[in-house]
Amino acid sequence: MNLIYDIGNTTNKLAIYDRGVKVFSVRTKQVCCEDLQKMISPYTITKAIISSVKDLPEFIYDLISVNIPKVHILNNKTSLPFRNEYKTPETLGPDRIAAVAGAYYLYPGRNVLVIDAGSAVTYDYLSGKSYKGGNISPGLNMRFKALHKFTDKLPMGSAIEKYESPGRNTIEAISAGVINGLVYEINEYIRNFEENNIDAVVLLTGGDGQYLRDRLFHKVNYQPDLIFDGLNHILEYNAKES
């Protein structure tokens, strides 16, 4: 069995895979030694991969490496099953490379646009066996926070289910402006990608993926476990390489 540990900007995500199939997963704000030990103790884990967008807490690596024979920390030196054409791989977020690995695992040889709607929204491009790079944009919550923080009087908005556009009050105007603005942005990325790529696939993942999915004009393949799948694929690929 494989342990997949993904440390993001706002949450920690943990999964266990058995022969390519996810058998357990959990998402939490914080993890202590006791919690982590309790989660993994029922399983016989032989390999693990850790991906972190921030400094890795020492206790996590120590605890995992004591109990699991092979532990891989995803970084810019990690062997990948596709060619990475990013010019500064040392600055490439591990969450982005994991999402691309998930896309490669699910759709090998295809032209894929990966949209990860989390704290930031990332747009990453996979062409056959090559990762071409991508773009980064503020996520939903970041946009709401920016309007509130950098103005004197605008209140804090949020991603609500129903709102009118044009807004008839300030909260509604903020909600419509932020949500519609991001939806229009994503739609244009998809339109341009599908127009310029044969055999195109568009994948959507991330914490806001489900919320945004039904608001888009274009069809997308929603994959909430894309990063888990990608990390598991990278772990297996490196196990074969070693």
Choose, from 95, 116, 208, 229, the residue flagged as catalytic.
95
C-alpha to C-alpha distance for 164 and 46, rounded to whole angstroms: 52
Q: Which of 52, 76, 50 is CA-nearest to residue 61? A: 50
DSSP 8-state code for residue 118: S
Question: Do 194 and 175 touch, CB atoms closer than 8 A?
Answer: no
Please spell the DSSP secondary structure of 135-148, one letter per residue.
EEEE-HHHHHHHHH
Residue position matching structure tokens 């773009």: 135
184 Cβ contact list (under 8 Å, min separation 6): none
DSSP class per residue in 165-184: SS-SSHHHHHHHHHHHHHHH
229 in active site:
no
Q: Tell me how far apart the alpha carbons of residues 16 and 212 are, in angstroms, rounded to a whole number.
A: 27
Q: Which residues are catalytic?
A: 95
